[in-house]
Chain A
Amino acid sequence: MDLLSAKTASPLQETVLEIQNLTILGIRSLLNLFRRPLYLRETFEQMDIIGVGSLVITMLTGFFTGAVLALQTSNTLSSFGAMGYTGQLVSISLVRELGPVLTAVVVAGRIGSGIASELGSMLVSEQINAMRALGTDPSKKLVTPRVFASITMVPVLTIICDLVGVLGGLFVAYFLLGISPTLYLTSAYDNLTYSDLVQGLIKPPIFGFLIAIVGCYCGLRTYGGTQGVGRSTTQSVVSSMILIFVSDFFITRLLLAFI
Protein backbone atom coordinates (compact mmCIF):
# COMPACT_ATOMS: atom_id res chain seq x y z
CA MET A 1 0.00 0.00 0.00
CA ASP A 2 1.55 3.22 -1.10
CA LEU A 3 -0.44 5.29 1.35
CA LEU A 4 2.44 7.47 2.48
CA SER A 5 3.22 9.03 -0.89
CA ALA A 6 0.44 11.55 -0.28
CA LYS A 7 2.70 13.28 2.26
CA THR A 8 5.17 14.51 -0.34
CA ALA A 9 2.76 16.04 -2.90
CA SER A 10 1.32 19.54 -3.34
CA PRO A 11 -1.99 20.27 -1.51
CA LEU A 12 -4.14 19.62 -4.60
CA GLN A 13 -2.23 16.48 -5.54
CA GLU A 14 -2.37 15.44 -1.92
CA THR A 15 -6.18 15.68 -1.85
CA VAL A 16 -6.51 13.72 -5.10
CA LEU A 17 -4.03 11.13 -3.83
CA GLU A 18 -5.92 10.82 -0.54
CA ILE A 19 -9.21 10.20 -2.37
CA GLN A 20 -7.51 7.79 -4.75
CA ASN A 21 -5.85 5.83 -1.93
CA LEU A 22 -9.08 5.75 0.09
CA THR A 23 -10.99 4.46 -2.94
CA ILE A 24 -8.36 1.82 -3.70
CA LEU A 25 -8.39 0.65 -0.08
CA GLY A 26 -12.21 0.55 -0.12
CA ILE A 27 -12.39 -1.48 -3.34
CA ARG A 28 -9.64 -3.82 -2.18
CA SER A 29 -11.35 -4.40 1.16
CA LEU A 30 -14.57 -5.40 -0.62
CA LEU A 31 -12.81 -7.62 -3.18
CA ASN A 32 -11.01 -9.38 -0.32
CA LEU A 33 -14.41 -10.72 0.78
CA PHE A 34 -14.14 -13.14 -2.15
CA ARG A 35 -10.46 -14.07 -1.65
CA ARG A 36 -8.98 -16.56 0.78
CA PRO A 37 -8.07 -16.53 3.63
CA LEU A 38 -11.32 -15.08 4.95
CA TYR A 39 -10.31 -14.40 8.59
CA LEU A 40 -13.69 -15.41 9.99
CA ARG A 41 -12.52 -15.29 13.61
CA GLU A 42 -11.33 -11.70 13.22
CA THR A 43 -14.59 -10.80 11.45
CA PHE A 44 -16.76 -12.19 14.27
CA GLU A 45 -14.56 -10.44 16.83
CA GLN A 46 -15.10 -7.14 15.03
CA MET A 47 -18.86 -7.78 14.75
CA ASP A 48 -18.91 -8.28 18.50
CA ILE A 49 -16.89 -5.12 19.16
CA ILE A 50 -18.91 -2.97 16.75
CA GLY A 51 -22.35 -4.52 17.23
CA VAL A 52 -22.59 -5.66 20.84
CA GLY A 53 -20.11 -3.03 22.02
CA SER A 54 -22.16 -0.16 20.61
CA LEU A 55 -25.55 -1.50 21.71
CA VAL A 56 -26.02 0.42 24.96
CA ILE A 57 -24.89 3.78 23.61
CA THR A 58 -27.09 3.32 20.52
CA MET A 59 -30.12 2.42 22.63
CA LEU A 60 -29.59 5.43 24.88
CA THR A 61 -29.27 7.68 21.83
CA GLY A 62 -32.39 6.21 20.25
CA PHE A 63 -34.49 6.38 23.42
CA PHE A 64 -33.77 10.01 24.21
CA THR A 65 -34.03 11.09 20.57
CA GLY A 66 -37.48 9.50 20.34
CA ALA A 67 -38.45 11.05 23.67
CA VAL A 68 -37.35 14.56 22.71
CA LEU A 69 -38.99 14.23 19.27
CA ALA A 70 -42.29 13.38 20.96
CA LEU A 71 -41.94 16.37 23.27
CA GLN A 72 -41.08 18.81 20.49
CA THR A 73 -43.65 17.63 17.93
CA SER A 74 -46.49 17.35 20.42
CA ASN A 75 -45.98 20.99 21.31
CA THR A 76 -46.64 22.04 17.71
CA LEU A 77 -49.27 19.39 16.99
CA SER A 78 -51.33 20.34 20.04
CA SER A 79 -51.96 23.80 18.59
CA PHE A 80 -53.67 22.06 15.63
CA GLY A 81 -55.42 19.54 17.84
CA ALA A 82 -53.41 16.80 16.16
CA MET A 83 -51.65 15.19 19.14
CA GLY A 84 -52.66 11.81 17.80
CA TYR A 85 -50.10 12.16 15.04
CA THR A 86 -47.15 12.23 17.49
CA GLY A 87 -46.39 8.53 16.94
CA GLN A 88 -46.36 8.97 13.17
CA LEU A 89 -43.97 11.92 13.32
CA VAL A 90 -41.62 10.18 15.73
CA SER A 91 -41.50 6.92 13.79
CA ILE A 92 -41.12 8.49 10.33
CA SER A 93 -38.42 10.92 11.52
CA LEU A 94 -36.51 8.12 13.20
CA VAL A 95 -36.81 5.51 10.48
CA ARG A 96 -36.09 7.76 7.53
CA GLU A 97 -33.44 10.04 8.91
CA LEU A 98 -32.54 10.28 12.56
CA GLY A 99 -32.08 6.58 13.28
CA PRO A 100 -29.55 5.94 10.48
CA VAL A 101 -27.67 9.24 10.90
CA LEU A 102 -27.50 9.28 14.70
CA THR A 103 -26.48 5.61 14.88
CA ALA A 104 -23.78 6.25 12.28
CA VAL A 105 -22.51 9.29 14.19
CA VAL A 106 -22.40 7.36 17.46
CA VAL A 107 -20.59 4.43 15.80
CA ALA A 108 -18.19 6.81 14.04
CA GLY A 109 -17.28 8.36 17.39
CA ARG A 110 -16.89 5.06 19.18
CA ILE A 111 -15.69 2.61 16.51
CA GLY A 112 -14.13 4.81 13.79
CA SER A 113 -11.80 6.40 16.33
CA GLY A 114 -10.99 3.00 17.85
CA ILE A 115 -10.09 1.52 14.47
CA ALA A 116 -7.88 4.49 13.56
CA SER A 117 -6.02 4.47 16.88
CA GLU A 118 -5.57 0.69 16.90
CA LEU A 119 -4.21 0.50 13.35
CA GLY A 120 -2.19 3.70 13.85
CA SER A 121 -0.52 2.26 16.96
CA MET A 122 0.22 -0.96 15.09
CA LEU A 123 1.75 1.03 12.25
CA VAL A 124 4.04 3.21 14.37
CA SER A 125 5.21 0.21 16.40
CA GLU A 126 5.99 -1.62 13.13
CA GLN A 127 3.45 -4.38 13.82
CA ILE A 128 1.92 -3.82 10.38
CA ASN A 129 5.36 -4.23 8.76
CA ALA A 130 5.95 -7.33 10.89
CA MET A 131 2.62 -8.69 9.66
CA ARG A 132 3.64 -8.10 6.04
CA ALA A 133 7.06 -9.62 6.67
CA LEU A 134 5.33 -12.73 8.01
CA GLY A 135 3.35 -13.07 4.80
CA THR A 136 0.02 -11.47 5.76
CA ASP A 137 -1.78 -8.85 3.69
CA PRO A 138 -2.92 -6.24 6.28
CA SER A 139 -5.81 -5.17 4.07
CA LYS A 140 -7.17 -8.73 4.30
CA LYS A 141 -6.44 -9.35 7.95
CA LEU A 142 -7.20 -5.92 9.40
CA VAL A 143 -9.31 -3.88 6.98
CA THR A 144 -11.78 -6.35 5.46
CA PRO A 145 -13.05 -7.83 8.77
CA ARG A 146 -13.66 -4.31 10.13
CA VAL A 147 -15.39 -3.14 6.96
CA PHE A 148 -17.61 -6.23 6.75
CA ALA A 149 -18.47 -6.05 10.46
CA SER A 150 -19.36 -2.38 10.18
CA ILE A 151 -21.47 -2.87 7.02
CA THR A 152 -23.49 -5.61 8.72
CA MET A 153 -23.68 -4.25 12.27
CA VAL A 154 -24.59 -0.60 11.62
CA PRO A 155 -27.95 -1.61 10.00
CA VAL A 156 -28.72 -3.89 12.97
CA LEU A 157 -27.89 -1.08 15.40
CA THR A 158 -30.01 1.33 13.35
CA ILE A 159 -33.06 -0.96 13.55
CA ILE A 160 -32.58 -1.25 17.32
CA CYS A 161 -32.15 2.53 17.58
CA ASP A 162 -35.39 3.06 15.62
CA LEU A 163 -37.33 0.63 17.82
CA VAL A 164 -36.00 2.01 21.09
CA GLY A 165 -36.60 5.55 19.76
CA VAL A 166 -40.28 4.77 19.13
CA LEU A 167 -40.45 3.37 22.67
CA GLY A 168 -38.82 6.57 23.99
CA GLY A 169 -41.51 8.56 22.21
CA LEU A 170 -44.16 6.25 23.67
CA PHE A 171 -42.79 6.82 27.16
CA VAL A 172 -43.12 10.59 26.80
CA ALA A 173 -46.46 10.37 24.97
CA TYR A 174 -48.03 8.24 27.71
CA PHE A 175 -46.47 9.59 30.89
CA LEU A 176 -46.05 13.28 30.02
CA LEU A 177 -48.55 14.01 27.26
CA GLY A 178 -51.35 11.67 28.22
CA ILE A 179 -51.65 10.11 24.74
CA SER A 180 -53.04 6.59 24.68
CA PRO A 181 -50.32 3.98 23.95
CA THR A 182 -52.59 2.27 21.43
CA LEU A 183 -53.19 5.50 19.54
CA TYR A 184 -49.44 6.33 19.58
CA LEU A 185 -48.34 2.88 18.40
CA THR A 186 -51.07 2.59 15.76
CA SER A 187 -50.15 6.00 14.39
CA ALA A 188 -46.43 5.10 14.48
CA TYR A 189 -46.88 1.73 12.74
CA ASP A 190 -49.71 2.33 10.24
CA ASN A 191 -48.19 5.37 8.62
CA LEU A 192 -44.79 3.86 7.93
CA THR A 193 -44.53 3.11 4.23
CA TYR A 194 -42.33 0.83 2.19
CA SER A 195 -40.43 3.89 0.97
CA ASP A 196 -39.65 4.92 4.56
CA LEU A 197 -38.26 1.49 5.37
CA VAL A 198 -36.18 1.33 2.19
CA GLN A 199 -34.68 4.71 2.91
CA GLY A 200 -33.97 3.73 6.49
CA LEU A 201 -32.27 0.49 5.52
CA ILE A 202 -30.23 1.57 2.49
CA LYS A 203 -28.32 4.27 4.32
CA PRO A 204 -26.87 2.29 7.29
CA PRO A 205 -24.69 -0.17 5.31
CA ILE A 206 -23.27 2.75 3.31
CA PHE A 207 -22.56 4.68 6.50
CA GLY A 208 -21.05 1.54 8.04
CA PHE A 209 -18.72 1.16 5.09
CA LEU A 210 -17.66 4.80 5.25
CA ILE A 211 -16.98 4.69 9.01
CA ALA A 212 -14.81 1.57 8.80
CA ILE A 213 -12.90 2.46 5.67
CA VAL A 214 -12.13 6.00 6.84
CA GLY A 215 -11.02 4.64 10.24
CA CYS A 216 -8.77 2.05 8.59
CA TYR A 217 -7.39 4.54 6.08
CA CYS A 218 -6.57 7.15 8.72
CA GLY A 219 -4.95 4.47 10.88
CA LEU A 220 -2.84 3.08 8.05
CA ARG A 221 -1.52 6.48 6.98
CA THR A 222 -0.41 7.45 10.49
CA TYR A 223 3.00 9.03 10.77
CA GLY A 224 4.81 10.89 13.53
CA GLY A 225 4.66 8.45 16.46
CA THR A 226 2.09 8.63 19.23
CA GLN A 227 1.21 12.23 18.36
CA GLY A 228 0.40 10.99 14.86
CA VAL A 229 -1.93 8.35 16.32
CA GLY A 230 -3.92 11.08 18.09
CA ARG A 231 -4.06 13.12 14.89
CA SER A 232 -5.29 10.13 12.87
CA THR A 233 -7.96 9.34 15.44
CA THR A 234 -9.36 12.88 15.38
CA GLN A 235 -9.18 13.02 11.60
CA SER A 236 -11.00 9.71 11.31
CA VAL A 237 -13.95 10.91 13.41
CA VAL A 238 -14.17 14.31 11.71
CA SER A 239 -13.87 12.88 8.18
CA SER A 240 -16.34 10.06 8.69
CA MET A 241 -18.93 12.42 10.24
CA ILE A 242 -18.60 14.85 7.33
CA LEU A 243 -18.90 11.96 4.88
CA ILE A 244 -21.98 10.66 6.71
CA PHE A 245 -23.79 14.00 6.47
CA VAL A 246 -22.76 14.69 2.87
CA SER A 247 -23.59 11.19 1.66
CA ASP A 248 -26.89 11.30 3.57
CA PHE A 249 -27.97 14.29 1.50
CA PHE A 250 -27.08 12.65 -1.82
CA ILE A 251 -28.56 9.25 -0.92
CA THR A 252 -31.78 10.92 0.21
CA ARG A 253 -31.94 12.97 -2.97
CA LEU A 254 -31.37 9.86 -5.07
CA LEU A 255 -33.89 7.74 -3.18
CA LEU A 256 -36.57 10.43 -3.32
CA ALA A 257 -36.16 10.52 -7.08
CA PHE A 258 -36.58 6.76 -7.48
CA ILE A 259 -38.84 5.55 -4.69
Chain B
Amino acid sequence: MSDQNDHRPTPAIELRNVVKSYGDAVILKKISFTVRRGEAKVILGGSGSGKSTILKLIIGLEKPDEGEIFIDGEEISRYRESQLTRVRQRIGMVFQEGALFDSLSVADNVAYRLHEQGDLEEDEILEIVRKTLGFVDLEDAIEKMPAELSGGMRRRAAIARALVGNPKIMLYDEPTAGLDPLTARTINELVIKLRDLEGVSSVFVTHRLKDVFTMANEYLVHQNGVLRYLTEEEGGLCLINTRLLMLRDGEIIFDGFDEEIRKSSDDYIRKFLS
Protein backbone atom coordinates (compact mmCIF):
# COMPACT_ATOMS: atom_id res chain seq x y z
CA MET B 1 0.00 0.00 0.00
CA SER B 2 1.07 3.62 -0.48
CA ASP B 3 2.89 5.39 2.28
CA GLN B 4 0.42 7.38 4.43
CA ASN B 5 2.46 10.56 3.92
CA ASP B 6 2.49 10.10 0.17
CA HIS B 7 -0.40 12.19 -1.16
CA ARG B 8 0.06 11.27 -4.80
CA PRO B 9 -2.97 9.40 -6.17
CA THR B 10 -2.62 5.63 -5.98
CA PRO B 11 -1.72 4.23 -9.42
CA ALA B 12 -4.29 2.02 -11.11
CA ILE B 13 -1.59 -0.62 -11.69
CA GLU B 14 1.85 -0.97 -10.21
CA LEU B 15 4.42 -3.72 -10.72
CA ARG B 16 7.43 -3.81 -8.38
CA ASN B 17 10.47 -5.95 -9.18
CA VAL B 18 8.38 -8.65 -10.82
CA VAL B 19 10.21 -11.80 -11.92
CA LYS B 20 8.52 -14.53 -13.92
CA SER B 21 10.03 -17.64 -15.43
CA TYR B 22 8.77 -20.78 -17.14
CA GLY B 23 11.14 -23.60 -16.33
CA ASP B 24 14.64 -22.34 -17.02
CA ALA B 25 13.53 -19.46 -19.22
CA VAL B 26 13.30 -16.18 -17.33
CA ILE B 27 10.61 -14.17 -19.11
CA LEU B 28 10.55 -11.05 -16.90
CA LYS B 29 13.57 -9.80 -14.95
CA LYS B 30 12.69 -7.48 -12.09
CA ILE B 31 10.14 -5.44 -14.01
CA SER B 32 8.80 -2.28 -12.33
CA PHE B 33 6.37 0.28 -13.74
CA THR B 34 3.14 2.06 -12.92
CA VAL B 35 0.00 2.92 -14.85
CA ARG B 36 -1.69 6.02 -13.47
CA ARG B 37 -5.44 6.45 -13.35
CA GLY B 38 -6.81 7.34 -16.79
CA GLU B 39 -3.47 6.59 -18.42
CA ALA B 40 -2.86 4.30 -21.38
CA LYS B 41 0.40 2.37 -21.25
CA VAL B 42 1.44 0.94 -24.61
CA ILE B 43 3.81 -2.01 -24.26
CA LEU B 44 6.09 -2.65 -27.23
CA GLY B 45 8.54 -5.43 -27.81
CA GLY B 46 9.45 -8.36 -29.98
CA SER B 47 7.82 -11.78 -29.82
CA GLY B 48 8.59 -13.61 -26.57
CA SER B 49 9.68 -10.45 -24.76
CA GLY B 50 7.06 -11.02 -22.04
CA LYS B 51 4.37 -8.52 -23.11
CA SER B 52 1.41 -10.89 -22.81
CA THR B 53 2.83 -12.35 -19.59
CA ILE B 54 2.64 -8.89 -18.01
CA LEU B 55 -1.08 -8.69 -18.80
CA LYS B 56 -1.68 -12.17 -17.38
CA LEU B 57 0.17 -11.21 -14.21
CA ILE B 58 -1.87 -8.02 -13.80
CA ILE B 59 -5.19 -9.89 -14.01
CA GLY B 60 -3.91 -12.76 -11.87
CA LEU B 61 -3.98 -15.51 -14.51
CA GLU B 62 -0.30 -16.09 -13.72
CA LYS B 63 1.55 -15.56 -10.47
CA PRO B 64 4.96 -13.86 -10.27
CA ASP B 65 7.93 -15.82 -8.91
CA GLU B 66 9.10 -12.67 -7.13
CA GLY B 67 7.90 -9.11 -6.72
CA GLU B 68 4.59 -7.43 -6.05
CA ILE B 69 1.63 -6.38 -8.16
CA PHE B 70 -0.77 -3.68 -6.98
CA ILE B 71 -4.21 -3.00 -8.42
CA ASP B 72 -5.65 0.26 -7.07
CA GLY B 73 -3.11 -0.02 -4.25
CA GLU B 74 -4.14 -3.60 -3.36
CA GLU B 75 -1.34 -6.18 -3.46
CA ILE B 76 -2.73 -9.15 -5.40
CA SER B 77 0.26 -11.30 -6.29
CA ARG B 78 -0.36 -13.83 -3.48
CA TYR B 79 -4.14 -13.86 -3.75
CA ARG B 80 -6.04 -17.11 -4.15
CA GLU B 81 -8.36 -17.62 -7.13
CA SER B 82 -11.44 -16.79 -5.03
CA GLN B 83 -9.90 -13.48 -3.88
CA LEU B 84 -8.85 -12.64 -7.41
CA THR B 85 -12.46 -12.93 -8.61
CA ARG B 86 -13.29 -9.73 -6.71
CA VAL B 87 -10.27 -7.90 -8.17
CA ARG B 88 -11.08 -9.08 -11.69
CA GLN B 89 -14.49 -7.39 -11.53
CA ARG B 90 -12.56 -4.10 -11.84
CA ILE B 91 -10.54 -5.29 -14.85
CA GLY B 92 -11.52 -6.09 -18.42
CA MET B 93 -9.21 -8.05 -20.68
CA VAL B 94 -9.22 -8.43 -24.45
CA PHE B 95 -7.31 -11.54 -25.47
CA GLN B 96 -5.38 -12.20 -28.65
CA GLU B 97 -7.89 -13.37 -31.28
CA GLY B 98 -10.70 -12.35 -28.90
CA ALA B 99 -11.08 -15.72 -27.11
CA LEU B 100 -14.86 -15.54 -27.50
CA PHE B 101 -16.77 -18.57 -26.21
CA ASP B 102 -17.51 -20.31 -29.49
CA SER B 103 -20.58 -22.15 -28.21
CA LEU B 104 -22.30 -18.88 -27.21
CA SER B 105 -23.81 -16.15 -29.39
CA VAL B 106 -22.33 -12.64 -29.39
CA ALA B 107 -25.12 -11.53 -27.03
CA ASP B 108 -24.40 -14.38 -24.60
CA ASN B 109 -20.66 -13.72 -24.79
CA VAL B 110 -21.18 -10.06 -23.91
CA ALA B 111 -23.71 -10.95 -21.21
CA TYR B 112 -21.43 -13.65 -19.76
CA ARG B 113 -20.24 -11.70 -16.71
CA LEU B 114 -23.80 -10.55 -15.93
CA HIS B 115 -25.20 -14.08 -16.20
CA GLU B 116 -22.45 -15.31 -13.88
CA GLN B 117 -23.23 -12.64 -11.30
CA GLY B 118 -26.91 -13.58 -11.58
CA ASP B 119 -28.34 -10.47 -9.92
CA LEU B 120 -30.04 -8.88 -12.95
CA GLU B 121 -33.24 -9.75 -14.83
CA GLU B 122 -32.93 -10.96 -18.41
CA ASP B 123 -34.47 -7.71 -19.77
CA GLU B 124 -31.92 -5.60 -17.93
CA ILE B 125 -29.09 -7.80 -19.18
CA LEU B 126 -30.30 -7.47 -22.78
CA GLU B 127 -30.45 -3.70 -22.40
CA ILE B 128 -26.84 -3.57 -21.17
CA VAL B 129 -25.72 -5.93 -23.95
CA ARG B 130 -27.35 -3.75 -26.63
CA LYS B 131 -25.82 -0.60 -25.15
CA THR B 132 -22.35 -2.13 -24.95
CA LEU B 133 -22.54 -3.55 -28.47
CA GLY B 134 -23.65 -0.09 -29.60
CA PHE B 135 -20.50 1.38 -28.07
CA VAL B 136 -18.35 -0.88 -30.26
CA ASP B 137 -20.71 -0.45 -33.22
CA LEU B 138 -21.73 -4.10 -33.36
CA GLU B 139 -25.48 -4.05 -32.64
CA ASP B 140 -26.28 -5.91 -35.86
CA ALA B 141 -24.22 -8.93 -34.83
CA ILE B 142 -26.07 -9.53 -31.55
CA GLU B 143 -27.56 -12.87 -32.61
CA LYS B 144 -24.52 -14.12 -34.53
CA MET B 145 -22.17 -16.87 -33.40
CA PRO B 146 -18.42 -16.09 -33.11
CA ALA B 147 -17.67 -18.31 -36.14
CA GLU B 148 -19.80 -16.01 -38.30
CA LEU B 149 -17.80 -12.89 -37.39
CA SER B 150 -14.84 -11.35 -39.19
CA GLY B 151 -11.55 -10.86 -37.31
CA GLY B 152 -12.30 -7.21 -36.57
CA MET B 153 -15.86 -7.92 -35.43
CA ARG B 154 -14.54 -10.65 -33.15
CA ARG B 155 -12.11 -8.23 -31.49
CA ARG B 156 -14.85 -5.64 -31.08
CA ALA B 157 -17.15 -8.26 -29.55
CA ALA B 158 -14.30 -9.19 -27.20
CA ILE B 159 -13.90 -5.53 -26.22
CA ALA B 160 -17.65 -5.32 -25.59
CA ARG B 161 -17.49 -8.43 -23.41
CA ALA B 162 -14.60 -6.95 -21.42
CA LEU B 163 -16.45 -3.63 -21.00
CA VAL B 164 -19.51 -5.09 -19.30
CA GLY B 165 -19.48 -4.10 -15.65
CA ASN B 166 -17.70 -0.80 -16.47
CA PRO B 167 -14.18 -1.87 -15.49
CA LYS B 168 -11.84 1.00 -14.68
CA ILE B 169 -8.83 -0.93 -15.98
CA MET B 170 -8.62 -2.48 -19.47
CA LEU B 171 -5.92 -4.82 -20.75
CA TYR B 172 -5.54 -5.34 -24.49
CA ASP B 173 -3.40 -8.19 -25.77
CA GLU B 174 -2.50 -7.34 -29.36
CA PRO B 175 -6.07 -6.45 -30.31
CA THR B 176 -5.04 -5.21 -33.77
CA ALA B 177 -2.77 -8.11 -34.77
CA GLY B 178 -3.67 -9.49 -38.19
CA LEU B 179 -6.29 -6.85 -38.92
CA ASP B 180 -6.47 -4.58 -41.96
CA PRO B 181 -5.49 -0.91 -41.33
CA LEU B 182 -9.08 0.38 -41.28
CA THR B 183 -10.28 -2.20 -38.76
CA ALA B 184 -7.16 -1.68 -36.66
CA ARG B 185 -7.92 2.05 -36.70
CA THR B 186 -11.46 1.32 -35.42
CA ILE B 187 -10.01 -0.67 -32.52
CA ASN B 188 -7.57 2.17 -31.72
CA GLU B 189 -10.43 4.66 -31.72
CA LEU B 190 -12.33 2.50 -29.26
CA VAL B 191 -9.35 2.45 -26.92
CA ILE B 192 -8.98 6.24 -27.21
CA LYS B 193 -12.72 6.64 -26.60
CA LEU B 194 -12.48 4.64 -23.38
CA ARG B 195 -9.37 6.52 -22.28
CA ASP B 196 -10.70 10.02 -23.00
CA LEU B 197 -14.42 9.70 -22.32
CA GLU B 198 -14.57 7.07 -19.59
CA GLY B 199 -11.21 7.69 -17.87
CA VAL B 200 -10.29 4.02 -18.17
CA SER B 201 -6.68 3.11 -17.36
CA SER B 202 -5.31 0.66 -19.88
CA VAL B 203 -2.37 -1.47 -20.87
CA PHE B 204 -2.16 -1.99 -24.62
CA VAL B 205 0.23 -4.62 -25.95
CA THR B 206 1.13 -4.31 -29.60
CA HIS B 207 3.76 -4.82 -32.31
CA ARG B 208 2.27 -2.18 -34.59
CA LEU B 209 3.91 1.24 -34.52
CA LYS B 210 0.84 2.73 -36.16
CA ASP B 211 -1.16 1.83 -33.02
CA VAL B 212 1.45 3.46 -30.84
CA PHE B 213 1.47 6.78 -32.64
CA THR B 214 -2.30 6.88 -33.10
CA MET B 215 -2.82 6.44 -29.38
CA ALA B 216 -0.02 8.80 -28.43
CA ASN B 217 -1.05 11.58 -30.81
CA GLU B 218 -4.82 11.51 -30.99
CA TYR B 219 -7.54 12.35 -28.56
CA LEU B 220 -11.29 12.48 -28.54
CA VAL B 221 -13.34 15.56 -27.72
CA HIS B 222 -16.95 16.63 -27.76
CA GLN B 223 -17.23 19.56 -30.20
CA ASN B 224 -20.71 21.06 -30.61
CA GLY B 225 -22.29 17.79 -29.56
CA VAL B 226 -20.20 15.78 -31.99
CA LEU B 227 -17.34 13.43 -31.08
CA ARG B 228 -14.13 14.33 -32.92
CA TYR B 229 -10.75 12.65 -33.01
CA LEU B 230 -8.05 15.32 -33.08
CA THR B 231 -4.30 15.04 -33.36
CA GLU B 232 -1.98 16.98 -31.09
CA GLU B 233 -1.11 19.26 -34.01
CA GLU B 234 -4.76 19.95 -34.88
CA GLY B 235 -5.99 20.48 -31.36
CA GLY B 236 -2.92 22.07 -29.85
CA LEU B 237 -3.06 19.77 -26.84
CA CYS B 238 -0.02 17.85 -25.65
CA LEU B 239 -1.11 14.39 -24.53
CA ILE B 240 0.39 13.20 -21.29
CA ASN B 241 -1.95 10.31 -20.65
CA THR B 242 -0.29 7.82 -23.01
CA ARG B 243 3.12 6.43 -22.21
CA LEU B 244 5.15 3.84 -24.00
CA LEU B 245 7.09 1.02 -22.46
CA MET B 246 9.48 -1.13 -24.42
CA LEU B 247 10.65 -4.59 -23.41
CA ARG B 248 13.69 -6.49 -24.56
CA ASP B 249 14.69 -9.92 -23.26
CA GLY B 250 12.50 -9.53 -20.20
CA GLU B 251 13.79 -6.09 -19.24
CA ILE B 252 12.38 -2.60 -19.67
CA ILE B 253 14.58 -0.61 -22.01
CA PHE B 254 12.29 2.40 -22.34
CA ASP B 255 9.47 3.97 -20.31
CA GLY B 256 8.28 7.38 -21.38
CA PHE B 257 6.46 9.48 -24.00
CA ASP B 258 6.40 9.05 -27.76
CA GLU B 259 8.50 12.20 -28.32
CA GLU B 260 11.23 10.69 -26.14
CA ILE B 261 11.23 7.30 -27.84
CA ARG B 262 11.62 8.94 -31.25
CA LYS B 263 14.77 10.66 -29.98
CA SER B 264 16.21 7.55 -28.36
CA SER B 265 19.77 6.63 -29.33
CA ASP B 266 19.34 2.95 -28.34
CA ASP B 267 20.11 0.76 -31.37
CA TYR B 268 17.36 -1.75 -30.68
CA ILE B 269 14.74 0.98 -30.28
CA ARG B 270 15.91 2.74 -33.43
CA LYS B 271 15.71 -0.54 -35.38
CA PHE B 272 12.27 -1.25 -33.93
CA LEU B 273 10.99 2.17 -34.95
CA SER B 274 12.54 2.19 -38.41
Contacts and interface: CB of A to CB of B under 8 A. Distances in A.
Given A8-B22, A37-B116, A37-B118, A133 B93 contact: yes
Contacts of B82: 137
B23 interface: yes
Nearest to B81: A137
Interface string B208-244: 0000000000000000000000000000000000000
User: On chain A, which size bracket covers the interface?
Assistant: 10 to 19
Interface of B is mostly: mixed
15 contacts: A125-B97, A126-B95, A127-B99, A127-B100, A129-B61, A130-B95, A130-B101, A130-B161, A131-B101, A132-B88, A133-B59, A133-B93, A134-B88, A137-B82, A137-B85
Contacts, number: 51
B30 interface: no
A81 interface: no
A53 to B, nearest CB: 16
Nearest to A137: B81
B112 A134 contact: yes
A131 B82 CA distance: 13
B207 interface: no
Interface residues of B, number: 25
Nearest to A2: B63
Contacts of B53: none
B193 interface: no
Q: Top 9 A-B pairs ranked by shortest CB distance?
A: A126-B99, A8-B23, A130-B99, A133-B93, A135-B85, A126-B95, A134-B113, A135-B88, A129-B61
Q: Which of A129, A132, A133 has its CB near the most chain B CB atoms (within 10 A)?
A: A133
A191 interface: no
Given A37-B116, A130-B101, A135-B85, 5 more contacts: A127-B99, A127-B102, A130-B100, A132-B88, A134-B112
A76 interface: no
A129 B52 CA distance: 12
B96 interface: yes
B171 to A, nearest CB: 8
Q: Which of B89, B91, B99 has its CB near the most chain A CB atoms (within 10 A)?
A: B99
Contact of B99 (A7, A125, A135): A125
Interface in B40-60: 56, 59
